Amino acid sequence: MNLFKKLAVGAVTSMSLMASAAYAQVEIQWWHAMGGRLGEVVEEIAAKYNASQSEYVVVPTYKGGYEDTMTAGIAAFRAKQQPNIIQIFDAGAATIIYSKGAVVPVADLLEKYAGGFDSTDYIEGVRYFYADNEGKMIGMPFNSSTPLLYYNKDIFAKVGLDGPPATWEELEAMAPKLKEAGYQALAQSHSPWIWAENFMSRHNLPLATANNGYDSTDVKILYNTPELRMHWTKVKEWLDKGWYGYYGRGWGDNQDAFVQQKVAMWLGSSGSFGGLTKSAEFKFGAAYLPYWKSVVDEPTSTFIGGAALFAMAGKSEEENKGVADFLKFLTNPEMQYFWHRETGYVPITNAAYEMAKADGYYDTTPDAEIGILQLTQKSGEWTKGYRLGFYVQIREVMYKNFEDILSGKASVEDAFAAIEKDGNALLARFHDTYK
Amino acid sequence: MKRVQFEHSPIPYLFVAPQLLIIAIFFLWPAGQAVYQSFLLEDAFGLSSQFVWFRNYSDTIFNESWLQSAWFTAIFSTLVTFLSLGLALLLAVKANEVIRGASTYKTLLMWAYAIAPPVAGLMGNLMFNPLIGDMYHFMNSFGYDFDHKLHETDAAFVVILISVWKQVSVNFIFFLSGLQGIPKSVTEAATMDCKSPTRRFWTITFPLLAPTTFFLMVTNITYAFFETFGIIDTTTQGAPGGATTTLVYKVFQDGFRGADIGGSSAQSVVLMLVVLVLTVIQFRFIERKVHY
């Protein structure tokens, strides 16, 4: 037999094997945006699920970043080739939820096929973000993180600072000392997320009309407020004084500045914890996101960031059953604890959190608990989340104008007026498209 | 008198058919889709849509950020085309005169041709990284506060530098072969008539290179408009404050990142028209001055 024939025979045999395997088990396609180490953990989760039962096979596929994954899902849906499960990030939630008929609410799926659903099983901070205005979960929070402050303990000890700042006022008091020792005090990744959205949540301020956008698409943003303008006036001052280092929009570029000990503190995500333990060659700690004492006496909890899993519509009942079964598996305490430990993302159920506590995980790594503690801090009227359309573009508008503030091209007043104007124009456009 | 009439054979049509099919599938059909989509307000998943005439155009074209990127695209493509043609021509003329080690020079100059724009962008991004980038520190060593993460002109400098660097070698190859195509007898005769090499270059060599230059100008403008996307995406991503967003990058941001299909279709239709007009201008007014 020559080589070609051998190959052909091999291909036919393996194809028929695959076909028979697929015939026996229902395949569940899962498109996700988790690269690198996170992607490996996703593969492990799928492998664990597939080994745990024989009815369904979950096939995870990495589709690039959050936006790429959403675009791939949109294109596939339009071609009627959509996956069963797709991971959609916070800023894309409105797009998929308001496209009527694109997804099946996960609460309905679990109710119908997995023996019930109770939203109070989930920790308070994640319960509402991907839910509708009545609290029904549309997407299942998957990788949930929240902004935290990381600080370099070695630098703090060297400079003679006791602990991380709880408020921005305290940070301002620490910054001159750090500067004198040759360090920038602060860097920060993702300014719209941390210094606009979560700023509002931390100080219990509304960020949009119509119940932060949950009640209607006819909505206007409320970012142009004295509190947020004050904050950005301060940020510009910090930059000019050399207290704050701006390393661009890239998440990693700002994190690198912290890892390379150019800056003493960095605002990142609770999900950054796992990566930092590997890359930082110094002792570091995690702390709550600071707040302005001048704005509130006691801060409220932050939003979750990250992404959720959505069950796409147009699938057979058998496959939807599999999706529900898998989501149930994914949210069981063992899997959530595994995900939490491996990645640093918060566990989304109370049971998983209790399990991590009982296991003594936080006794050995107390910093890993900071994110979930912050999410379970006192909640307020405006700490549930937000639902705003074309939010990717609105974040782009914010980035643009924040950069204009920092570079001195625009005054804080002008920049926020531009954010309000352009943001509201986008929201009006979204409303007309999705009404 | 009997007119000579050749019998029409279907064979020529068969020969062009594959090409026509390719144009139809990969250009006409998507372009038609873009025009159609540009008149619709449609949700991302295509579940509901309304016909809105020119709403997408009025929403997305004549606003500040689009005009800013149109302006940047104009400056950017002019500079990239002019600089990469100029540098490549200079290098080609000089390399053509080198006698010792000529092939080494040429190989080194052509080398960058093999690099794809996104790779060039990634390399440039590393070189201009504020923490580890040598170029960043070099630029700052003159006492000027170079910061392409915040200063618009610095960011524009970075993307233009990388785009030109990447394109010079392509142009170099064409110019060099163009130069080598000029008959020796012509240059020798010119040398006898005129002593000044600069004058000889502008009166003899450059006009003879005109067809190559024209061809390269057309391809370089297209490069600056479309292919530099990869460089921008891997370096500045349009920042700071939208200062390095080209029109193509904006289409990508709104359509592929932001799921606004109608708006980005309207923008791409306008972009298509702009390129069409540019091409017509090039062929009608500039090509007339070219002698083949």
pLDDT tens-place string over residues A211-268: 999 999 999 999 999 999 999 999 999 999 999 999 999 899 999 999 999 999 999 9
Of A248, A404, A432, the CB nearest to B149: A248
How many CA atoms, within 13 angstroms, populate the side-chain half-sphere of residue A22?
10
Phi, psi (deg, nearest 5) at residue A291: -140, 170
Q: Give the other-Cβ count within 10 Å of B113's Cβ.
A: 14
Q: How far apart are CA B21 and CA B26, in angstroms?
A: 8
Q: How far apart are CA B291 and CA B209, in angstroms?
A: 9
Q: Which residue of A396, A397, A402, A411 is the best one to mutate when testing the B interface, meaning the one whose CB has the most B CBs within 10 A?
A: A396
Q: Which residue of B37, B40, B43, B63 is the best one to mutate when testing the A interface, meaning the one whose CB has the most A CBs within 10 A?
A: B43
Strand partners, A60: A30
B182 touches chain A (CB under 8 A): no
Of B241, B242, B256, the CB nearest to A67: B256
Longest dimension (CA), chain B: 86
Q: Which residue of B257, B261, B264 is the best one to mutate when testing the A interface, meaning the one whose CB has the most A CBs within 10 A?
A: B257
How many CA atoms, within 13 angstroms, populate the side-chain half-sphere of residue A185?
24
SS3 of residue A405 by DSSP: helix
Strand partners, A306: A144
Q: How far apart are CA B167 and CA B117, in angstroms?
A: 9
Residue B21 vs residues A241, B16, B17, B188, B191: alpha-carbon distances, Å: 62, 9, 6, 49, 52
Q: Which residues of A265-300 are buried (b: 16+ CB within 10 A; e: fewer)?
A: bbbbbbbbbbbbeeebeeebbbbbbbbbeebbeebb
Categorize the per-residue pLDDT at B158 as very low, low, confident or very high, splitting at 50, 70 and 90.
very high
From first CA to last CA, the distance across chain A in angstroms is 64
Q: How far apart are CA A268 and CA A250, in angstroms?
A: 12
Q: How far apart are CA B229 and CA A110, in angstroms?
A: 44
What one-character-per-residue DSSP string does B143-204 give? S----TTT-HHHHHHHHHHHHHHHHHHHHHHHHHHHHHTS-HHHHHHHHHH---HHHHIIII
Which stretch of DSSP H or E encloses residue A392?
helix A391-407
Tokens (6 digits) for A36: 């690198």
Q: How far apart are CA A331 and CA A339, in angstroms?
A: 10
Domains and CATH numbers, chain B: 51-287 (1.10.3720.10)
* Placement of tokens 């949210």 in the chain: A331
Residue of A425, A174, B258 whose CA lies nearest to B249: B258
CB contact under 8 A, B47 and A67: no
Mean pLDDT, chain B, rounded, equals 91
Q: Is A120 left (phi over 0), alpha (psi -120 to 50) or beta?
A: alpha
Which one-letter DSSP state was computed for residue A192? H
A95 touches chain B (CB under 8 A): yes
Q: How far apart are CA A400 and CA B220, in angstroms?
A: 29
Do residues A71 and A287 lie in contact, with contact meaning Cβ atoms separated by under 8 Å?
no
Q: Which residues of B8-43 are buried (b: 16+ CB within 10 A; e: fewer)?
A: eeeeeeeeeeeeeeeeeeeeeeeeeebeebbbbbbb
pLDDT tens-place string over residues B98-148: 878 888 888 888 888 888 999 999 999 999 998 889 999 999 998 888 999
Q: Are strands A103-104 and A305-312 parallel, antiparallel or unpaired?
A: antiparallel
Of A74, A96, A260, the CB nearest to B131: A260
Q: In a structure prediction context, what are the per-residue pLDDT tens digits for chain A, which is 435 residues long?
A: 455 555 554 554 444 444 444 457 899 999 999 988 889 999 999 999 999 999 999 999 999 999 999 999 999 999 999 999 999 999 999 999 999 899 999 999 999 998 888 888 998 888 889 998 888 999 999 999 999 999 999 999 999 999 999 999 999 999 999 999 999 999 999 999 999 999 999 999 999 999 999 999 999 999 999 999 999 999 999 999 999 999 999 899 999 999 999 999 999 999 888 889 889 999 999 999 999 999 999 999 999 889 999 999 999 999 999 999 999 999 999 999 999 998 889 999 999 999 999 999 999 999 999 999 999 899 999 999 999 999 999 999 999 999 999 999 999 999 999 999 999 999 999 999 998
> What pLDDT score was predicted for residue A2?
54
How many CA atoms, within 13 angstroms, populate the side-chain half-sphere of residue A306?
31
Residue A280 vs residues A1, A308, B63: alpha-carbon distances, Å: 57, 29, 44
* Placement of tokens 């124009």 in the chain: A425
> What pLDDT score was predicted for residue B105?
83
Size of interface A-B (CB pairs under 8 A): 102
Of B45, B64, B263, the CB nearest to A77: B45
Q: Where are the domains of chain A?
A: 26-145+305-376, 147-303+389-434
Closest residue of chain B to A398, computed from CA coordinates: B241
Whether pLDDT at B2 is above 70: no
DSSP E strand stretches across B76-160? none
User: Which CATH number fits the domain A147-303+389-434, given the four candidates 3.40.50.1820, 3.40.50.300, 3.30.70.260, 3.40.190.10?
Assistant: 3.40.190.10
SS3 of residue B265 by DSSP: helix
* Residue A53 vs residue B286, higher pLDDT: A53
B59 touches chain A (CB under 8 A): yes
> What pLDDT score was predicted for residue A4?
52
Do residues B112 and B231 lie in contact, with contact meaning Cβ atoms separated by under 8 Å?
no
B41 touches chain A (CB under 8 A): yes
Q: How far apart are CA A430 and CA A419, in angstroms?
A: 16
Q: Give the other-Cβ count within 10 Å of A12's Cβ.
A: 10
**What's the gap in Å between the CA of A75 and the closest CA on chain B?**
8
The ipTM value here is: 0.87
CB contact under 8 A, A74 and B259: yes
What sign does the CA torsion over A400, A402, A406, A412 have?
positive
Tokens (6 digits) for B113: 């041709």
Phi, psi (deg, nearest 5) at residue A377: -65, 175
What crossing angle do the helices spanning A317-330 and A333-343 adopt, rounded to 10°?
60
- For the domain spanning A26-145+305-376, the CATH number is 3.40.190.10
Residue of A135, A109, A104 whose CA lies nearest to A122: A135
From first CA to last CA, the distance across chain B in angstroms is 38
A169 touches chain B (CB under 8 A): no
